[in-house]
Every structure is written in C-alpha cells, then in structure tokens.
C-alpha cells in the first residue's frame, strides 16, 4: 500500500539528485525522488533498496509515495518542474539522523560493515565513499539508537564500476582484510537467495515508471536484465576477498 504526500517541506541541499522531503499521510516524513532522476535510476533505486531490505541490511524504510496534483499545483519549491504529481520513491526520514562521519566508524560493529561492503560489491555500488578528506557515504548515523541507515542506491549496477576505486575508497574498506571465504560464501548465498523475491519486488514498481499510457517504454530496465546482472555480475564475485 502506498503513502500519500500531505505536505512538502523543502529540498535537500546535499546529494546529486537533491531529493525533496515532505510528510506522508502515515505520519512519517520522506525524502522523495521522481522527476529529479531518470526512470532507470528510479527502478534501480527501488529494486536495490528492497533487495537490501530482504537481505536484512539496515536500510532506511522504503515506500512508494503518491504526490497529489493539488499539492504540486500550489507548492512553492525550487525547480517545480522536478516536483510533479504521481508515484515517487520515498525513503523514510530518520529523526535526528545525520550523515555518517569518520568519527562514527569505530562505533559500528564489524559484522555490519562486512554485510554492507559485500552487498555493495555484489550490486556494484560506487556511491558509498568516505575518507578524512570527505566524501559521500550515503549512510546516516542515528545518534539515538547508535546505528546506521543506508540510503541512495540509484547508481547501483554501474556499467563503469571501478573495482580498484571501490576497494580503495569504500567507507567500510577497513574490514576487507577480515573477509574470510566462509563469511563471504555465507553472505553470497544469502544475497543470491533474495533474487527469488525479485518478481514480487518488480510487481511493486509503479507502472508509470516503466511506460507511459500509450505503452511507450520510459525505462530501459527490465526484471530479466536486473536478474541477469545479479546472477552473473560483470565483476568477479569473489574479487572482494583480500589477497
């Protein structure tokens, strides 16, 4: 069941897509992506975020959020051409959460870091980087629960994925030497088992993301293509192992 947006509060100052954020009729606030990214990115964002949920990763809760035409008609927002009525990707806003900093890394369990870096390798996510010089980790830190929430997966399945850069720049690269083959195989099996849920996840995608009313495709992504990329990734599956 989707959520309906009841108010628009503003737009993020960070991130390439600078998502809007507003309140849903379920009482939660959401970061919203729709016309500020491509339809291919919308599909990838939703599918990979849902797969991450199915794998038990700490993803910020995902929801389809309906943006009413009345709200877009009267809303005063930056770039109104990117705030249009229809189904949007919604990532639940975590109260008091802020972007993860280097100082938080020691407070995160190694097991959590291992799961994240292995998942990001599997889905070819180039967008989780951080160093003492800065970066864009796309990880939120919840100071209340002392835990993390993963966000922004629209660049996954990157055709230009740089393996060396990933190993060098990933926010949790410090645990890579700890990846034993038994741990790797355990999570590889877990990840690949979630592919069986891809059909159900695909059915959740709003039809308007995939094609217009006349039947013309809006996205080049298909369930079969994504499934093939996950079953037979373009990078060596065990390439993340140390050594």
Per-residue model confidence (pLDDT) at position 55: 95
Per-residue model confidence (pLDDT) at position 15: 67
Strands in the chain per DSSP E: 3-11, 20-24, 29-33, 62-67, 86-92, 98-99, 139-142, 147-150
CA distance 170 to 117: 8
Per-residue model confidence (pLDDT) at position 155: 96
Strands in 20-173 per DSSP E: 20-24, 29-33, 62-67, 86-92, 98-99, 139-142, 147-150
Nearby residues of 17 by Cβ (< 8 Å), 6 or more positions away: 33, 36, 37, 41, 154
What does the pLDDT look like over 84-128, one tens digit per residue? Answer: 899 999 999 999 999 999 899 999 999 999 999 999 999 999 999
pTM of structure: 0.94
Whether 18 and 58 map to the same domain: the answer is: yes
CA distance 25 to 201: 23
Whether 104 and 45 map to the same domain: the answer is: no
Q: Give the residue from 76, 94, 112 where a domain finishes.
A: 94
**Does residue 217 fall inside a structural domain?**
no
Task: Name the least confident of 55-69, 194-208, 224-238.
Answer: 224-238
What does the pLDDT look like over 2-50, one tens digit per residue? Answer: 899 999 998 887 767 789 999 999 999 999 999 999 999 999 999 999 9
**Does residue 154 fall inside a structural domain?**
yes
Q: Confidence class of residue 242 from pLDDT cuts 50, 70 and 90?
A: very high
**Does residue 72 fall inside a structural domain?**
yes
Across the range 46-59, mean pLDDT stands at 97
Whether 132 and 171 map to the same domain: the answer is: yes
Which tokens is 162 given? Answer: 């740089």
Whether 104 and 84 map to the same domain: the answer is: no
Given a cut of 80, whether residue 131 has pLDDT beyond it is: no
CB 22 within 8 A of CB 30: yes
Given a cut of 80, whether residue 214 has pLDDT beyond it is: no
Overall domain count for the chain: 2
Across the range 222-231, mean pLDDT stands at 95
Per-residue model confidence (pLDDT) at position 243: 78
Across the range 204-227, mean pLDDT stands at 92
Per-residue model confidence (pLDDT) at position 52: 98
CA distance 178 to 234: 24
**Does residue 31 fall inside a structural domain?**
yes
Q: Which domain holds residue 139?
A: 98-194+229-240
Whether 77 and 128 map to the same domain: the answer is: no
Cα 68 to Cα 16, 24, 204, distances in angstroms: 25, 11, 19
Given a cut of 80, whether residue 1 has pLDDT beyond it is: no
Per-residue model confidence (pLDDT) at position 166: 96
Q: Look over the chain and give the mean of its residue pLDDT values, rounded to a whole number.
A: 93
Per-residue model confidence (pLDDT) at position 18: 86
Across the range 160-178, mean pLDDT stands at 96
**Does residue 48 fall inside a structural domain?**
yes
């Amino acid at each position: 069941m989707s959520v309906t947006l009841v108010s628009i509060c503003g737009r993020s100052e960070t991130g390439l897509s600078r998502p809007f954020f507003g309140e849903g009729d379920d009482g939660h606030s959401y970061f919203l992506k729709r016309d500020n990214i491509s339809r291919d990115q919308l599909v990838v964002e939703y599918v990979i975020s849902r797969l991450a949920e199915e794998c038990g990763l700490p993803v910020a809760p995902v929801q389809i959020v309906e943006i009413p035409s009345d709200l877009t008609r009267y809303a005063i927002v930056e770039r109104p051409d990117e705030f249009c009525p229809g189904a949007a990707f919604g990532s639940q806003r975590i109260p008091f959460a802020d972007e993860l900093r280097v100082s938080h890394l020691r407070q995160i369990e190694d097991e959590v870091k291992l799961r994240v870096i292995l998942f990001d390798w599997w889905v070819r996510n180039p967008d989780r980087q951080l160093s003492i010089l800065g970066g864009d980790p796309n990880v939120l830190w919840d100071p209340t629960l002392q835990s993390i929430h993963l966000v922004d997966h629209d660049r996954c399945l990157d055709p230009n994925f740089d393996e060396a850069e990933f190993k060098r720049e990933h926010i949790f690269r410090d645990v890579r030497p700890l990846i034993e083959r038994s741990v790797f195989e355990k999570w590889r099996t877990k990840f690949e088992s979630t592919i069986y849920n891809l059909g159900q996840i695909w059915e959740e995608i709003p039809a308007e993301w995939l094609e217009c009313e006349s039947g013309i495709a809006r996205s080049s992504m298909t369930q079969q293509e994504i499934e093939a990329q996950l079953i037979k990734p373009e990078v060596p599956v065990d390439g993340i192992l140390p050594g």
